[in-house]
Chains A and B, each alone.
Chain A
Amino acid sequence: EPEVTQTPSHQVTQMGQEVILRCVPISNHLYFYWYRQILGQKVEFLVSFYNNEISEKSEIFDDQFSVERPDGSNFTLKIRSTKLEDSAMYFCASSGDGVGGYTFGSGTRLTVV
């Protein structure tokens, strides 16, 4: 069964450093997403991406965050200057039609120290 692949599975970074989280969505999907889950809290929407541009973003997705689809297979989330409160599990998801039965990856656990 097709799956969304995320790397790395766990990343530890110092506060103020830049991190790039990587995702390979399902190959024939057109809609791509990043969500995050702080330990013990809800899964929260960050950004959606369609047709090579951001289609929607949340208040969390400020100027420190950016997304890119550098080639036909990868989808990345960059955090320019990490803060302690960015520590969370980050999930990439993709969808063929943009209607909510997304396929999620296993996540990247980001720890900012």
Chain B
Amino acid sequence: EDQVTQSPEALRLQEGESSSLNCSYTVSGLRGLFWYRQDPGKGPEFLFTLYSAGEEKEKERLKATLTKKESFLHITAPKPEDSATYLCAVQSFNYGGSQGNLIFGKGTKLSVKP
């Protein structure tokens, strides 16, 4: 069964204090791994897609990396506006031919204090 586990559940940082969020996954055949940001009461906002081990993507203070078993979201010199819940999701190849659905982790709630 496809599964996604994120750690830690919550992370408090001081502004400027860099850190990493972890996403461990098991999937029958990885089509893609996705990072989303979710603000309270809002829908997930797409950040990155990673397709294969060794791939990296960057956007502003965020950098996502992928291995065969896990992905990291590195946050460099975070600011208070980076406070949100960060969700990881995987999509597997669907042997039936239809597009596989996303399996989400519970997320990491990041708080950045000024």
The A-contacting residues of B in range 56-92, CB under 8 angstroms, are 87, 89, 91
Residue with the highest number of chain A CB atoms closer than 10 Å, among B49, B87, B102, B107? B102
A43, A56, A99: which contacts B87 (Cβ < 8 A)?
A43
Within the assembled complex, what's the spacing in Å between the Cα atoms of A61 and B105?
20
Binds B, one of A13-21, A63-71, A102-110: A102-110
- CB proximity of B4 to chain A, nearest CB, Å: 8
Quick one: CB contact mask for A56-91 with B, threshold 8 Å, 1 for yes? 101000000000000000000000000000000101
Interface size on A, residues (CB 8 A): 28
Interface residues on B, range: 20 to 34
Residue of A nearest to B46 (CB): A101
A11 contacts the other chain (Cβ, under 8 Å)? no
Residues of A within 8 A of B31 (CB): 99-100
Residue with the highest number of chain B CB atoms closer than 10 Å, among A4, A41, A56, A89? A56
B106 contacts the other chain (Cβ, under 8 Å)? yes
Is there contact, CB below 8 Å, between B46 and A103?
Answer: yes
Residue with the highest number of chain B CB atoms closer than 10 Å, among A31, A100, A103? A100
Is there contact, CB below 8 Å, between A99 and B99?
Answer: yes
The A-contacting residues of B in range 20-60, CB under 8 angstroms, are 31-32, 34, 36, 41-46, 49
Residue with the highest number of chain B CB atoms closer than 10 Å, among A31, A41, A43, A45? A43
Given contacts A41-B106, A43-B87, A100-B89, contact A56 B99 (CB under 8 A): yes
11 contacts between A and B (CB under 8 A): A42-B106, A42-B107, A55-B99, A56-B99, A56-B100, A91-B44, A93-B43, A99-B32, A100-B91, A104-B45, A105-B43
B interface, CB within 8 angstroms of A: 31-32, 34, 36, 41-46, 49, 87, 89, 91, 94, 96, 98-107
